[in-house]
Homo-oligomer: A and B are copies of this chain.
Amino acid sequence: MEGLGLGYLGAGIGAGLAVIGAGLGIGNVAASAAEGVARQPEATADIRTTMIIAAALIEGVALFGEVICVLLALK
């Protein structure tokens, strides 16, 4: 029972840490994208596509981490 408890603890902390990484990463990308759109509004489509590709990559890693935490939480 103690062992399962440590797993649950890890699942909770890991889920939080994964969101920190994804949040800071996507936030950084999108902040620069917003500044870029403000500087060159006619390049909006290109800037937004670049941002979405990067955000999707970050999202992919984050969801992988979250799935591991789900596996631990459902033990």
Contacts and interface: CB of A to CB of B under 8 A. Distances in A.
A2 to B, nearest CB: 5
Nearest to A35: B32
Task: Determine how many copies of this chain the complex contains.
Answer: 3
Chain A interface secondary structure, helix, strand, loop or mixed? helix
A46 B37 contact: yes
Interface residues of A, number: 73
A51 B50 contact: yes
Nearest to A17: B16
A15 to B, nearest CB: 4
Contacts of A49: 48
Interface of A: 1-44, 46-66, 68-75
